[in-house]
Structure 1
Amino acid sequence: MKSYIINLDRSPGRMQRMADRLNSIGAAFERVPAVDGRLLSDAEIADVYKPIAGVAAMTPEEVGCFLSHRKCWERIASGPDAYGCVFEDDMLISKRAGLFLVEEASWVPRDADLVKVETVVGRVWLDRTVLALRDGFELARLRSFSFGSGGYILSKTAAERLLAMTRVFSDAVDHVKFNPACGIAGSLKSYQMIPALSVQTQSFYPKGSL
Protein backbone atom coordinates (compact mmCIF):
# COMPACT_ATOMS: atom_id res chain seq x y z
CA MET A 1 0.00 0.00 0.00
CA LYS A 2 1.46 3.35 -1.00
CA SER A 3 1.55 6.25 1.45
CA TYR A 4 1.17 9.88 0.40
CA ILE A 5 2.90 12.47 2.58
CA ILE A 6 1.53 16.02 2.56
CA ASN A 7 4.47 18.38 2.97
CA LEU A 8 5.00 22.11 2.46
CA ASP A 9 8.04 23.13 0.42
CA ARG A 10 9.15 25.30 3.33
CA SER A 11 9.26 22.32 5.72
CA PRO A 12 11.95 19.96 4.37
CA GLY A 13 12.89 18.81 7.86
CA ARG A 14 9.44 17.38 8.45
CA MET A 15 9.58 15.46 5.21
CA GLN A 16 12.98 14.03 6.05
CA ARG A 17 11.72 12.79 9.42
CA MET A 18 8.72 11.13 7.78
CA ALA A 19 10.91 9.60 5.08
CA ASP A 20 13.31 8.21 7.68
CA ARG A 21 10.48 6.49 9.53
CA LEU A 22 8.76 5.08 6.44
CA ASN A 23 12.05 3.89 4.99
CA SER A 24 12.85 2.18 8.29
CA ILE A 25 9.68 0.06 8.08
CA GLY A 26 9.98 -0.57 4.34
CA ALA A 27 6.86 1.35 3.32
CA ALA A 28 6.47 2.79 -0.19
CA PHE A 29 5.65 6.49 -0.15
CA GLU A 30 5.41 9.61 -2.26
CA ARG A 31 5.75 13.23 -1.22
CA VAL A 32 2.78 15.38 -2.16
CA PRO A 33 3.64 19.11 -2.25
CA ALA A 34 1.14 20.80 0.04
CA VAL A 35 -0.90 23.83 -0.99
CA ASP A 36 0.31 26.76 1.10
CA GLY A 37 -2.84 28.57 2.18
CA ARG A 38 -0.83 31.69 2.99
CA LEU A 39 -0.06 32.09 -0.71
CA LEU A 40 -3.63 31.68 -1.98
CA SER A 41 -5.32 34.78 -3.35
CA ASP A 42 -8.85 35.75 -2.33
CA ALA A 43 -10.02 34.77 -5.81
CA GLU A 44 -8.37 31.33 -5.59
CA ILE A 45 -10.06 30.70 -2.25
CA ALA A 46 -13.43 31.90 -3.51
CA ASP A 47 -13.21 29.44 -6.43
CA VAL A 48 -13.19 26.43 -4.10
CA TYR A 49 -14.61 27.56 -0.75
CA LYS A 50 -18.17 28.71 -0.12
CA PRO A 51 -18.71 29.77 3.50
CA ILE A 52 -21.94 28.97 5.32
CA ALA A 53 -23.79 31.85 6.95
CA GLY A 54 -23.57 31.71 10.74
CA VAL A 55 -20.69 29.23 10.72
CA ALA A 56 -17.10 30.20 11.50
CA ALA A 57 -15.21 30.75 8.26
CA MET A 58 -12.32 28.54 7.29
CA THR A 59 -8.89 30.16 7.41
CA PRO A 60 -6.66 30.30 4.31
CA GLU A 61 -4.48 27.65 5.97
CA GLU A 62 -7.51 25.36 6.37
CA VAL A 63 -8.43 25.86 2.72
CA GLY A 64 -4.85 25.01 1.74
CA CYS A 65 -5.00 21.91 3.94
CA PHE A 66 -8.20 20.76 2.22
CA LEU A 67 -6.69 21.29 -1.23
CA SER A 68 -3.59 19.36 -0.16
CA HIS A 69 -5.70 16.35 0.83
CA ARG A 70 -7.55 16.57 -2.48
CA LYS A 71 -4.19 16.23 -4.25
CA CYS A 72 -3.67 12.95 -2.40
CA TRP A 73 -7.18 11.80 -3.30
CA GLU A 74 -6.41 12.52 -6.95
CA ARG A 75 -3.36 10.27 -6.80
CA ILE A 76 -5.31 7.46 -5.14
CA ALA A 77 -8.21 7.82 -7.58
CA SER A 78 -5.92 7.72 -10.62
CA GLY A 79 -3.53 5.09 -9.27
CA PRO A 80 -3.58 1.32 -9.73
CA ASP A 81 -4.18 0.36 -6.10
CA ALA A 82 -7.50 -0.23 -4.34
CA TYR A 83 -6.33 1.76 -1.30
CA GLY A 84 -3.83 4.45 -0.42
CA CYS A 85 -2.66 5.89 2.89
CA VAL A 86 -2.48 9.63 3.55
CA PHE A 87 -0.25 11.18 6.21
CA GLU A 88 0.29 14.80 7.17
CA ASP A 89 3.95 15.50 7.82
CA ASP A 90 3.64 16.16 11.55
CA MET A 91 2.82 12.57 12.47
CA LEU A 92 4.63 10.13 14.70
CA ILE A 93 4.31 6.70 13.09
CA SER A 94 4.57 3.43 15.00
CA LYS A 95 7.42 1.11 14.10
CA ARG A 96 4.73 -1.57 13.85
CA ALA A 97 2.99 0.30 11.04
CA GLY A 98 4.92 -1.86 8.62
CA LEU A 99 2.61 -4.74 9.52
CA PHE A 100 -0.13 -2.98 7.56
CA LEU A 101 1.50 -0.44 5.22
CA VAL A 102 4.05 -2.72 3.58
CA GLU A 103 1.81 -5.62 2.61
CA GLU A 104 -1.20 -5.47 0.30
CA ALA A 105 -4.44 -4.09 1.71
CA SER A 106 -6.19 -7.47 1.90
CA TRP A 107 -6.71 -6.86 5.65
CA VAL A 108 -8.95 -3.84 4.96
CA PRO A 109 -12.69 -4.71 5.17
CA ARG A 110 -14.25 -4.84 1.72
CA ASP A 111 -16.93 -2.33 2.70
CA ALA A 112 -14.43 0.18 4.11
CA ASP A 113 -14.25 3.61 2.51
CA LEU A 114 -11.92 4.96 5.18
CA VAL A 115 -9.73 3.48 7.89
CA LYS A 116 -8.48 5.98 10.41
CA VAL A 117 -4.99 4.97 11.55
CA GLU A 118 -4.51 8.06 13.73
CA THR A 119 -5.50 8.62 17.33
CA VAL A 120 -6.54 12.01 18.70
CA VAL A 121 -7.31 13.33 22.16
CA GLY A 122 -10.98 12.82 22.95
CA ARG A 123 -13.59 10.09 22.97
CA VAL A 124 -15.29 8.68 19.91
CA TRP A 125 -18.19 6.31 19.43
CA LEU A 126 -17.18 2.92 18.07
CA ASP A 127 -19.17 -0.25 17.45
CA ARG A 128 -18.87 -2.88 20.15
CA THR A 129 -18.16 -5.45 17.46
CA VAL A 130 -14.51 -5.41 16.44
CA LEU A 131 -12.62 -7.12 13.66
CA ALA A 132 -9.44 -8.81 14.84
CA LEU A 133 -6.37 -8.18 12.69
CA ARG A 134 -2.85 -9.41 13.45
CA ASP A 135 -0.53 -8.89 16.43
CA GLY A 136 -3.28 -7.55 18.69
CA PHE A 137 -4.61 -4.89 16.31
CA GLU A 138 -8.35 -4.49 15.73
CA LEU A 139 -10.79 -2.46 13.63
CA ALA A 140 -14.14 -1.05 14.73
CA ARG A 141 -16.70 0.97 12.83
CA LEU A 142 -16.39 4.67 13.61
CA ARG A 143 -19.84 6.08 14.35
CA SER A 144 -19.11 9.60 15.59
CA PHE A 145 -17.08 12.60 14.56
CA SER A 146 -13.35 12.22 15.13
CA PHE A 147 -11.00 15.18 14.81
CA GLY A 148 -7.86 14.90 12.75
CA SER A 149 -6.83 14.02 9.21
CA GLY A 150 -3.23 13.20 10.00
CA GLY A 151 -3.36 9.53 9.11
CA TYR A 152 -5.99 7.55 7.20
CA ILE A 153 -6.41 4.91 4.54
CA LEU A 154 -8.77 5.75 1.69
CA SER A 155 -10.27 3.47 -0.93
CA LYS A 156 -9.97 4.29 -4.61
CA THR A 157 -13.76 4.45 -5.01
CA ALA A 158 -14.15 6.72 -1.98
CA ALA A 159 -11.40 8.99 -3.32
CA GLU A 160 -13.33 9.32 -6.58
CA ARG A 161 -16.52 10.17 -4.68
CA LEU A 162 -14.82 12.70 -2.43
CA LEU A 163 -13.21 14.43 -5.38
CA ALA A 164 -16.51 14.69 -7.21
CA MET A 165 -18.32 16.04 -4.16
CA THR A 166 -15.71 18.57 -3.02
CA ARG A 167 -14.92 20.57 -6.13
CA VAL A 168 -16.40 23.32 -3.98
CA PHE A 169 -16.47 22.81 -0.21
CA SER A 170 -17.81 24.55 2.90
CA ASP A 171 -16.41 22.45 5.76
CA ALA A 172 -12.94 21.55 6.97
CA VAL A 173 -11.48 18.32 5.63
CA ASP A 174 -11.88 16.55 9.01
CA HIS A 175 -15.62 17.21 8.99
CA VAL A 176 -16.12 16.20 5.39
CA LYS A 177 -14.54 12.80 6.02
CA PHE A 178 -15.52 12.01 9.59
CA ASN A 179 -18.46 14.13 10.78
CA PRO A 180 -21.79 12.28 10.30
CA ALA A 181 -23.53 15.66 10.40
CA CYS A 182 -21.95 16.42 7.02
CA GLY A 183 -23.68 14.84 4.06
CA ILE A 184 -20.57 13.27 2.57
CA ALA A 185 -19.26 11.73 5.78
CA GLY A 186 -22.65 10.27 6.55
CA SER A 187 -22.47 8.19 3.37
CA LEU A 188 -18.97 6.83 4.00
CA LYS A 189 -18.15 3.67 5.95
CA SER A 190 -15.28 4.49 8.27
CA TYR A 191 -13.27 2.30 10.62
CA GLN A 192 -10.86 3.10 13.46
CA MET A 193 -7.70 1.07 13.96
CA ILE A 194 -7.09 0.04 17.58
CA PRO A 195 -4.41 0.78 18.67
CA ALA A 196 -3.70 3.49 16.15
CA LEU A 197 -0.58 3.55 14.00
CA SER A 198 0.06 7.29 14.26
CA VAL A 199 -0.45 10.42 16.34
CA GLN A 200 0.37 14.09 15.83
CA THR A 201 3.69 15.23 17.26
CA GLN A 202 1.96 18.06 19.14
CA SER A 203 0.29 15.43 21.33
CA PHE A 204 3.73 14.55 22.73
CA TYR A 205 5.83 17.68 22.32
CA PRO A 206 5.08 21.26 23.42
CA LYS A 207 4.40 23.72 20.63
CA GLY A 208 7.66 25.08 19.23
CA SER A 209 9.86 22.37 20.72
CA LEU A 210 10.51 20.72 17.35
Structure 2
Amino acid sequence: MISAVTINLAVAEERMQFQAAQLGYLGLHYERISAIEAEDAPGLRPAAYWDTWERPLKDAEKACFLSHRAAWEKVVAGGKPLLILEDDAVLSDRVPHLLEKLSSATGIDLVTLETRGRKKFVAKAGHPDILDLPIRRLYQDRSGAAAYVLWPSGARKLLRRTEDKAGLADAVICAAYDLATYQADPACALQIDRCTLYGIREPVATTSAIDAGEAPTASTGSGPTDTLAFKARRIRAQLRLGFHQLLKSPLAEHREIAVDPGDFSHLDRLTRLIA
Protein backbone atom coordinates (compact mmCIF):
# COMPACT_ATOMS: atom_id res chain seq x y z
CA MET A 1 0.00 0.00 0.00
CA ILE A 2 1.27 3.49 -0.86
CA SER A 3 1.82 5.68 2.20
CA ALA A 4 0.98 9.37 2.56
CA VAL A 5 2.84 12.51 3.59
CA THR A 6 0.94 15.56 4.78
CA ILE A 7 2.40 19.06 4.40
CA ASN A 8 1.33 21.02 7.47
CA LEU A 9 2.23 24.30 9.18
CA ALA A 10 2.87 23.98 12.92
CA VAL A 11 0.18 26.57 13.68
CA ALA A 12 -2.47 24.68 11.66
CA GLU A 13 -3.24 22.23 14.46
CA GLU A 14 -6.92 21.77 13.59
CA ARG A 15 -6.10 20.83 10.01
CA MET A 16 -3.54 18.25 11.15
CA GLN A 17 -6.03 16.87 13.66
CA PHE A 18 -8.48 16.38 10.80
CA GLN A 19 -5.86 14.75 8.61
CA ALA A 20 -4.87 12.34 11.36
CA ALA A 21 -8.52 11.35 11.83
CA GLN A 22 -9.15 11.07 8.09
CA LEU A 23 -6.06 9.02 7.27
CA GLY A 24 -6.63 6.81 10.31
CA TYR A 25 -10.22 6.18 9.22
CA LEU A 26 -9.05 5.23 5.74
CA GLY A 27 -6.34 2.96 7.16
CA LEU A 28 -3.47 4.85 5.54
CA HIS A 29 0.00 5.11 7.03
CA TYR A 30 1.24 8.68 6.96
CA GLU A 31 3.99 11.05 8.02
CA ARG A 32 3.78 14.78 8.63
CA ILE A 33 6.10 17.12 6.74
CA SER A 34 6.59 20.43 8.51
CA ALA A 35 5.64 23.11 5.99
CA ILE A 36 8.08 25.97 5.45
CA GLU A 37 7.02 29.27 7.00
CA ALA A 38 6.32 32.17 4.65
CA GLU A 39 8.79 34.46 6.42
CA ASP A 40 11.59 31.90 6.03
CA ALA A 41 11.10 30.97 2.38
CA PRO A 42 12.71 33.97 0.60
CA GLY A 43 16.04 33.47 2.35
CA LEU A 44 16.26 29.77 1.49
CA ARG A 45 17.12 30.53 -2.14
CA PRO A 46 19.01 33.37 -3.84
CA ALA A 47 16.84 36.40 -4.61
CA ALA A 48 17.24 35.92 -8.37
CA TYR A 49 15.81 32.39 -8.11
CA TRP A 50 12.43 33.74 -7.08
CA ASP A 51 12.14 35.99 -10.13
CA THR A 52 12.19 33.13 -12.63
CA TRP A 53 8.41 32.61 -12.61
CA GLU A 54 5.79 34.32 -14.79
CA ARG A 55 5.08 36.95 -12.14
CA PRO A 56 6.44 37.92 -8.71
CA LEU A 57 5.62 35.38 -6.02
CA LYS A 58 4.18 35.98 -2.56
CA ASP A 59 6.28 34.70 0.32
CA ALA A 60 3.48 32.22 1.13
CA GLU A 61 3.63 30.91 -2.46
CA LYS A 62 7.39 30.52 -2.18
CA ALA A 63 6.95 28.58 1.06
CA CYS A 64 4.27 26.33 -0.46
CA PHE A 65 6.52 25.60 -3.45
CA LEU A 66 9.53 24.73 -1.29
CA SER A 67 7.35 22.54 0.95
CA HIS A 68 6.22 20.51 -2.07
CA ARG A 69 9.80 20.36 -3.29
CA ALA A 70 10.79 18.86 0.08
CA ALA A 71 8.11 16.21 -0.44
CA TRP A 72 9.52 15.45 -3.92
CA GLU A 73 12.95 14.97 -2.38
CA LYS A 74 11.43 12.56 0.13
CA VAL A 75 9.94 10.50 -2.73
CA VAL A 76 13.34 10.22 -4.40
CA ALA A 77 15.11 9.38 -1.14
CA GLY A 78 12.58 6.66 -0.32
CA GLY A 79 12.64 5.14 -3.79
CA LYS A 80 8.89 4.49 -3.86
CA PRO A 81 5.69 6.42 -4.66
CA LEU A 82 3.99 8.52 -2.00
CA LEU A 83 0.61 10.21 -1.72
CA ILE A 84 1.45 13.89 -1.19
CA LEU A 85 -1.25 15.85 0.62
CA GLU A 86 -1.76 19.44 1.58
CA ASP A 87 -3.41 19.63 4.99
CA ASP A 88 -6.73 20.86 3.56
CA ALA A 89 -7.19 17.84 1.28
CA VAL A 90 -10.39 15.84 1.70
CA LEU A 91 -10.16 12.24 0.52
CA SER A 92 -12.86 9.89 -0.72
CA ASP A 93 -13.56 6.35 0.41
CA ARG A 94 -12.09 5.16 -2.91
CA VAL A 95 -8.54 6.17 -2.02
CA PRO A 96 -7.31 3.03 -0.18
CA HIS A 97 -8.40 0.74 -3.04
CA LEU A 98 -6.83 3.05 -5.62
CA LEU A 99 -3.54 3.24 -3.71
CA GLU A 100 -3.43 -0.53 -3.40
CA LYS A 101 -3.87 -0.90 -7.16
CA LEU A 102 -1.35 1.84 -7.93
CA SER A 103 1.30 0.22 -5.74
CA SER A 104 1.96 -2.32 -8.51
CA ALA A 105 1.42 0.01 -11.49
CA THR A 106 4.29 0.85 -13.82
CA GLY A 107 4.99 3.54 -16.39
CA ILE A 108 3.38 6.29 -14.30
CA ASP A 109 5.05 9.44 -12.95
CA LEU A 110 2.11 11.12 -11.23
CA VAL A 111 -1.60 10.58 -10.53
CA THR A 112 -3.64 13.56 -9.38
CA LEU A 113 -6.61 12.63 -7.22
CA GLU A 114 -8.39 15.97 -7.05
CA THR A 115 -10.57 18.28 -9.06
CA ARG A 116 -11.40 21.95 -8.50
CA GLY A 117 -14.47 22.40 -10.68
CA ARG A 118 -12.46 23.38 -13.77
CA LYS A 119 -12.29 21.42 -17.01
CA LYS A 120 -9.22 19.31 -17.63
CA PHE A 121 -7.73 17.99 -20.87
CA VAL A 122 -8.01 14.22 -20.39
CA ALA A 123 -7.82 11.18 -22.64
CA LYS A 124 -11.03 10.18 -24.37
CA ALA A 125 -10.33 6.54 -23.58
CA GLY A 126 -8.68 4.72 -20.71
CA HIS A 127 -5.07 3.63 -21.01
CA PRO A 128 -4.93 0.12 -22.58
CA ASP A 129 -2.39 -1.15 -20.06
CA ILE A 130 -4.30 -0.05 -16.96
CA LEU A 131 -7.96 -0.39 -17.90
CA ASP A 132 -8.71 -1.96 -14.54
CA LEU A 133 -7.74 1.29 -12.79
CA PRO A 134 -10.15 4.25 -12.45
CA ILE A 135 -7.63 6.65 -13.98
CA ARG A 136 -7.03 8.14 -17.40
CA ARG A 137 -4.20 10.05 -19.04
CA LEU A 138 -4.13 13.73 -18.06
CA TYR A 139 -2.66 15.95 -20.78
CA GLN A 140 -3.39 19.36 -19.25
CA ASP A 141 -4.43 20.24 -15.74
CA ARG A 142 -5.48 23.73 -14.69
CA SER A 143 -4.68 23.97 -10.99
CA GLY A 144 -4.42 22.07 -7.74
CA ALA A 145 -1.68 20.22 -5.86
CA ALA A 146 -3.59 19.17 -2.76
CA ALA A 147 -3.56 15.41 -3.38
CA TYR A 148 -1.36 13.53 -5.83
CA VAL A 149 0.62 10.30 -5.96
CA LEU A 150 4.18 10.86 -7.13
CA TRP A 151 6.69 8.22 -8.25
CA PRO A 152 10.47 8.66 -7.94
CA SER A 153 10.74 9.02 -11.73
CA GLY A 154 8.32 11.95 -11.64
CA ALA A 155 9.93 13.48 -8.56
CA ARG A 156 13.33 13.51 -10.24
CA LYS A 157 11.85 15.29 -13.27
CA LEU A 158 10.19 17.93 -11.09
CA LEU A 159 13.36 18.48 -9.07
CA ARG A 160 15.39 18.96 -12.25
CA ARG A 161 12.83 21.43 -13.60
CA THR A 162 12.97 23.51 -10.43
CA GLU A 163 16.67 23.40 -9.66
CA ASP A 164 17.16 26.85 -11.19
CA LYS A 165 13.56 28.00 -11.63
CA ALA A 166 10.82 28.66 -9.11
CA GLY A 167 7.05 28.75 -9.55
CA LEU A 168 3.67 28.00 -8.07
CA ALA A 169 3.70 24.39 -6.91
CA ASP A 170 0.59 23.35 -8.84
CA ALA A 171 1.52 25.32 -11.96
CA VAL A 172 4.97 23.73 -12.08
CA ILE A 173 3.35 20.29 -12.00
CA CYS A 174 0.74 21.24 -14.62
CA ALA A 175 3.44 22.55 -16.98
CA ALA A 176 5.64 19.44 -16.69
CA TYR A 177 4.59 17.86 -19.99
CA ASP A 178 7.39 15.32 -19.77
CA LEU A 179 5.58 13.61 -16.88
CA ALA A 180 3.41 10.57 -17.51
CA THR A 181 0.49 12.09 -15.62
CA TYR A 182 -2.90 10.53 -14.92
CA GLN A 183 -6.18 11.68 -13.39
CA ALA A 184 -8.35 9.75 -10.92
CA ASP A 185 -11.77 9.53 -12.57
CA PRO A 186 -14.04 10.03 -10.68
CA ALA A 187 -12.03 12.40 -8.52
CA CYS A 188 -10.92 11.03 -5.17
CA ALA A 189 -10.01 14.31 -3.45
CA LEU A 190 -11.05 17.91 -3.01
CA GLN A 191 -9.64 20.86 -1.16
CA ILE A 192 -11.88 21.93 1.69
CA ASP A 193 -12.75 25.21 -0.04
CA ARG A 194 -14.30 23.20 -2.91
CA CYS A 195 -16.54 20.98 -0.76
CA THR A 196 -19.67 23.15 -0.89
CA LEU A 197 -19.41 23.27 -4.70
CA TYR A 198 -20.16 19.53 -4.71
CA GLY A 199 -22.70 19.51 -1.88
CA ILE A 200 -20.20 18.19 0.66
CA ARG A 201 -19.99 19.57 4.19
CA GLU A 202 -16.68 21.26 5.04
CA PRO A 203 -15.09 19.22 7.85
CA VAL A 204 -13.12 22.16 9.30
CA ALA A 205 -12.98 25.89 8.67
CA THR A 206 -10.23 26.90 6.29
CA THR A 207 -8.53 30.09 5.19
CA SER A 208 -5.84 30.11 2.52
CA ALA A 209 -2.51 31.35 3.83
CA ILE A 210 -1.64 32.38 0.29
CA ASP A 211 -4.82 34.39 -0.27
CA ALA A 212 -4.38 36.09 3.08
CA GLY A 213 -0.71 36.90 2.43
CA GLU A 214 0.97 40.04 1.21
CA ALA A 215 0.97 41.21 -2.38
CA PRO A 216 3.73 39.64 -4.50
CA THR A 217 6.83 41.69 -5.18
CA ALA A 218 9.84 41.07 -7.37
CA SER A 219 12.97 40.09 -5.47
CA THR A 220 15.57 41.72 -7.69
CA GLY A 221 13.74 44.87 -8.73
CA SER A 222 10.57 46.09 -10.34
CA GLY A 223 11.80 48.18 -13.24
CA PRO A 224 10.73 47.94 -16.91
CA THR A 225 13.23 45.18 -17.68
CA ASP A 226 11.90 42.96 -14.89
CA THR A 227 8.28 43.56 -15.93
CA LEU A 228 9.04 42.65 -19.54
CA ALA A 229 10.81 39.47 -18.43
CA PHE A 230 7.74 38.33 -16.48
CA LYS A 231 5.46 39.11 -19.43
CA ALA A 232 7.74 37.26 -21.85
CA ARG A 233 7.65 34.15 -19.66
CA ARG A 234 3.86 34.28 -19.46
CA ILE A 235 3.57 34.56 -23.23
CA ARG A 236 5.97 31.65 -23.79
CA ALA A 237 4.03 29.54 -21.29
CA GLN A 238 0.71 30.26 -23.02
CA LEU A 239 2.14 29.48 -26.45
CA ARG A 240 3.63 26.25 -25.13
CA LEU A 241 0.30 25.31 -23.55
CA GLY A 242 -1.60 26.00 -26.78
CA PHE A 243 0.81 23.94 -28.87
CA HIS A 244 0.65 21.06 -26.36
CA GLN A 245 -3.15 21.01 -26.45
CA LEU A 246 -3.19 21.15 -30.24
CA LEU A 247 -0.77 18.23 -30.37
CA LYS A 248 -2.88 16.10 -28.00
CA SER A 249 -6.33 17.16 -29.28
CA PRO A 250 -6.92 13.98 -31.35
CA LEU A 251 -6.58 11.92 -28.15
CA ALA A 252 -8.18 14.15 -25.55
CA GLU A 253 -11.24 16.15 -24.57
CA HIS A 254 -11.96 19.08 -22.26
CA ARG A 255 -14.32 18.09 -19.47
CA GLU A 256 -14.87 18.35 -15.75
CA ILE A 257 -13.91 15.35 -13.65
CA ALA A 258 -16.94 13.88 -11.90
CA VAL A 259 -17.30 13.85 -8.11
CA ASP A 260 -19.63 11.48 -6.26
CA PRO A 261 -20.62 13.13 -2.95
CA GLY A 262 -21.48 9.68 -1.61
CA ASP A 263 -17.78 8.83 -1.68
CA PHE A 264 -17.22 11.43 1.06
CA SER A 265 -19.96 10.30 3.45
CA HIS A 266 -17.44 9.59 6.21
CA LEU A 267 -16.76 13.32 6.66
CA ASP A 268 -19.77 13.87 8.92
CA ARG A 269 -18.52 11.16 11.25
CA LEU A 270 -15.00 12.59 11.31
CA THR A 271 -16.30 16.10 11.93
CA ARG A 272 -18.11 14.89 15.04
CA LEU A 273 -15.00 13.05 16.27
CA ILE A 274 -12.76 16.12 16.11
CA ALA A 275 -15.37 18.65 17.23
Q: TM-score range, shorter-chain basis? A: 0.7 to 0.9
**Larger strand proportion of the pair:** 1
Tell me, yes or no, if the aligned pair for 1:45 and 1:60 is still in contact at 8 Å.
no
Matches within 5 A, 1:109-124: 110-124=106-120
- Inter-CA distance 48–91: structure 2 relative to 1 (3 Å threshold): same
Deviation at 1:168, TM superposition (A): 2.9
Q: Report which of the two structures shows the higher radius of gyration computed on alpha carbons.
A: 2
Amino acid across the alignment from 1:56? R
User: Displacement of 1:2 after TM fit?
Assistant: 1.2
Are the equivalent residues in 1 in contact too, given 2:139–2:177 (CA < 8 A)? no
- Work out the CA distance in 2 between the residues paired with 1:76 and 1:43: 21
Q: After the TM superposition, which residues 126-145 of structure 1 pair with which residues of structure 2 at under 5 Å, given as runs? A: 126-131=122-127, 132-133=131-132, 138-145=134-141
Q: Does 1:11 align with 2:12?
A: yes
1:74 offset after TM fit, Å? 1.1
Q: 2:182 aligned to 188, 191, 203, which one?
A: 191
User: What is the deviation of 1:80?
Assistant: 3.9
Aligned: 1:59 with 2:50: no
Aligned letter for 1:75?
Answer: K
Unpaired stretches in structure 2, ≥5 consecutive residues: 207-275
Match of 1:173 in 2: 169
Q: Tell me the matched-pair count.
A: 197
Q: Post-superposition shift, 1:97?
A: 1.3
Question: Is it true that 1:87 corresponds to 2:88 in the alignment?
Answer: no
Q: Assess if the C-alpha contact under 8 Å between 2:65 and 2:167 holds in 1.
A: no
CA–CA distance in 2 between the matches of 1:72 and 1:203?
A: 24
- TM-score, scaled to structure 1: 0.84
**CA RMSD for the aligned pairs?**
2.3
TM-score with structure 2 length normalisation? Answer: 0.65
Task: Please report how far the alpha carbon of residue 38 of structure 1 lies from its aligned counterpart in structure 2 after TM superposition.
Answer: 3.2
Structural mapping, 1:65-80, within 5 Å: 65-80=64-79
How far the C-alpha of 1:100 sits from its partner, in A, is 2.4
CA distance in 2, matches of 1:167, 1:186: 17
Q: 1:203 aligns with which of 194, 197, 207?
A: 194
Partner amino acid, structure 2, of 1:59: K
Q: Distance in 2 between matches of 1:159 and 1:7?
A: 20
Secondary structure (helix, strand or coil) at the match of 1:204 reads: helix
CA positional deviation for 1:209: 4.1
The alpha carbon displacement at 1:165 in A equals: 2.7
Q: Indicate the SS of the match to 1:129.
A: coil
With over 3 angstroms needed to count, the CA separation of the structure-2 counterparts of 1:22 and 1:124, relative to structure 1, is same
Q: Deviations over 1:60-117 (max 9, x none)?
A: 1111001000111111100142x111010001111221112356611x3x22111011
Mapped to 2, the partners of 1:51 and 1:2 lie a distance apart of 33
CA contact (8 A) 1:27 1:101 kept: no
| CA distance in structure 2 between the aligned counterparts of 1:79 and 1:124, rounded to whole angstroms | 31
